[in-house]
Amino acid sequence: MSTIRLTAAQALVRYLAAQETEYQGQRVPLFAGVWAIFGHGNVAGMGEALYVERERLPTWRSHNEQAMAHAAIAYAKATNRRRMMACTTSIGPGATNMVTAAAVAHVNRLPVLLLPGDVFASRGPDPVLQQVEDFGDPTITANDCFRPVSRYWDRITRPEQLLTSLPRALDVLTDPADCGPATLALCQDVQAEAWDWPAAFFETRLRRPRRQTPDADELAAAASALAAAERPLIIAGGGVHYADACAALANLADRRGIPVAETQAGKGALAWDHPAAVGSIGVTGSSVANALAADSDVVLAVGTRLQDFTTGSRALFRNADCTLIQLNVAAFDAGKHGALALVGDAGLGLAALDGALGDYRVPAAWSDRAAQENTRWTAAVDAATAPSNAPLPSDAQVIGAVNRVATADDVVVCAAGGVPGEMHKLWRTERPRGYHLEYGYSCMGYEIAGGLGVRMARDSGEVFVLVGDGSYLMLNSEIATSVMLGCKLIVVVLDNSGFASINRLQRATGGASFNNLLADANRTADVPVDFASHAASLGANAEKVAGVAELEQAIARARAAPQTSVIVIDTDPMITTEAGGAWWEVAVPAVSERQEVAAARAGYEDMLATRKDVSR
């Protein structure tokens, strides 16, 4: 057997460089590169290995470990999980900085390979700098924090362990059902140890995602339920995009006349003006989608986890006789909420359902109702996003301005705060992957780093990043990275002077405004932040505008600019779109001296009493 003598780090990097996939009709490297922030736990081993393979496997430098992992996650999402990136850090804070990002990937079922440095396997210099010691278990390190937020986890204490662990990690990363973050904690002395590797280990391998056909019995049960439906509704989740099933969804909706609502991850599966499209679903849903959901007798959920924002905390589907069908590649998700499980690829499953429905088409009364309510919803969106003469624009009006100047080839990126809820309701996207929201984990700080990853995945169109002042202050360093790499973004900062969405939630649950808006926080001085000057100091073109009209003009200038632009606009922290939406369960204190809390608690208990049984 032919062997090659390499260090463990060199073998790992060479193996990653040999993995390939098919994307947009071409055979390309599976890994688009490795994000790296070097420290004593990875600079010698992984650093030298990445340098040798830098032509085949590019190394990208970031300014924050969480941010670089966000960029990698966004890249994978923007490529429908067909391509991905790896991230390497040192031991200690560099590693634990990535734990939040690992949770983002885990919740959203997105692939990223995390390669944090670890302690010495030999324990010779134990304890090393940045080592977290467990007083009763010397095998535990800071990297054990990755266990609950990884779909695959291992600590490499011998070079030859990579022969089994590395392929297994790649199997998880490329499996549609198991997909999520994989973590290989790399003991720093092992990274530098040499071993004689089988040459066959580094042969080029083409990895294609598995496309599972539905079980015949599950398909028959689902088709039977759907064929008997008088008021069916489809909920499109992110799995529709990941399976490249948007065309299959449109075909089923066209042929059968079934209305289609979309989750945050599923938005864009149908063009916003498709005859079957009824907009967003759930807490941040359109009035038409939520009204149809309340009366539906069959709901077909495709590629979605059906989290609480989608189901209105399980209060949205009010018809006691409603049948839920879950078409999902993961059995874990397909069986949720007592559903009829239909395990399989979204595209193959939709096509199989269509083929089993015979001449079924929804009753005209149902499709007519959807169309009539959609007309009213379209008018509500127009009203919410139209400019006004108010002293400060609402988030909705800023969204409307950006949406009006965006083209079909552009993409918008957002993540947390009040803006995503308005985006889900109001943003109009014309094609798949024109809308990129991280809302499974609702992670503040994802926006700018995520926009960088999206930009790296796209060859055309502009990447708009909408970010609140709170998220901007949490994580903005990748503006500098975008300038350094020539990855142009158009960042719109909506400054409402605090955490306005949580302030509104606080007040809605009876609380007083407290510690969310800057005006209500404990402070000895006001600290006005000049976001435009800050962004300019990071290398971006930056300006502050006074209203919606100036915002649209600034976006035109940003389009013409060759590099990242940041546009800052003050917004009203109290205004949110009244139309649409559904209940969301947030526990209200049972005892309080405040009458407002007592009133909110009474309303909370009323909703609990009307909700369907959630024991399933």
The residue with tokens 């839920």 is 324
Q: Which two tokens stand for residue 43?
A: 């600079």
Domain 216-376 CATH (choose: 3.40.50.1220, 3.40.50.2300, 3.40.50.20, 3.40.30.10): 3.40.50.1220
User: Thinking of the domain 386-570, which architecture would CATH place it in?
Assistant: 3-Layer(aba) Sandwich (3.40)
pLDDT in tens, 406-453: 999 999 999 998 999 999 999 999 999 999 999 999 999 999 999 999
Q: Which of 295, 223, 280, 303 is nearest to 256 (CA)?
A: 223
How many CA atoms, within 13 angstroms, populate the side-chain half-sphere of residue 337?
26
Q: Is the pLDDT of residue 206 over 50?
A: yes
The predicted pLDDT at position 613 comes to: 54
pLDDT in tens, 44-92: 999 999 999 999 999 999 999 999 999 999 999 999 999 999 999 999 9
CATH class belonging to 6-206:
alpha beta
pLDDT-derived band at 539 (thresholds 50, 70, 90) equals very high
Q: Is the pLDDT of residue 42 over 60?
A: yes
Q: Which of 355, 327, 305 is nearest to 212 (CA)?
A: 327
pLDDT in tens, 3-15: 999 999 999 999 9
pLDDT-derived band at 609 (thresholds 50, 70, 90) equals confident
Task: Tell me the mean pLDDT in the region 271-294.
Answer: 96
Higher pLDDT, residue 538 or 518 = 538
DSSP-assigned states of every residue in 505-523: HHHHTTPPP-SSBGGGS--
The predicted pLDDT at position 616 comes to: 41
Task: Tell me the mean pLDDT in the region 209-219.
Answer: 96
The percent of residues in the chain predicted with pLDDT above 70, rounded, is 99
Fold identical between 6-206 and 386-570?
A: yes
What residue type is assigned to position 182 of the chain?
A
Task: Tell me the mean pLDDT in the region 264-286.
Answer: 96
What residue type is assigned to position 29 of the chain?
P
List C-alpha distances in Å: 64 to 201, 328, 563: 33, 35, 21
Q: Which two tokens stand for residue 288?
A: 């038409």
- Phi and psi at 134, nearest 5°, equal -95, 125
Task: Tell me the mean pLDDT in the region 325-331.
Answer: 98
pLDDT in tens, 216-256: 999 999 999 999 999 999 999 999 999 999 999 999 999 99
What residue type is assigned to position 579 of the chain?
A
Q: What does the alpha-carbon distance between residue 551 and residue 470 come to, in Å, rounded to a whole number?
A: 20
Q: What does the alpha-carbon distance between residue 320 and residue 121 come to, in Å, rounded to a whole number?
A: 58
Task: Tell me the mean pLDDT in the region 198-219.
Answer: 96
- Phi and psi at 324, nearest 5°, equal -105, 130
Q: What does the alpha-carbon distance between residue 279 and residue 271 come to, in Å, rounded to a whole number?
A: 10
Q: Is the pLDDT of residue 508 over 60?
A: yes
CB 452 within 8 A of CB 486: no
What residue type is assigned to position 541 of the chain?
N
Domain regions of the chain by residue span: 6-206, 216-376, 386-570
The predicted pLDDT at position 473 comes to: 96
pLDDT-derived band at 485 (thresholds 50, 70, 90) equals very high
Q: What does the alpha-carbon distance between residue 447 and residue 236 come to, in Å, rounded to a whole number?
A: 23
The residue with tokens 């955490």 is 499
Mean pLDDT of the chain: 95
Chain centre distance of CA 590: 34
Produce one character per residue of 275-294: b if its CB has 16 or more CB atoms within 10 Å, e if not. Answer: bbbbbbbbbbbbbbbbbbbb
pLDDT-derived band at 500 (thresholds 50, 70, 90) equals confident
Q: Which residues contact 44 (CB under 8 A, 6 or more apart)?
A: 188, 191, 192
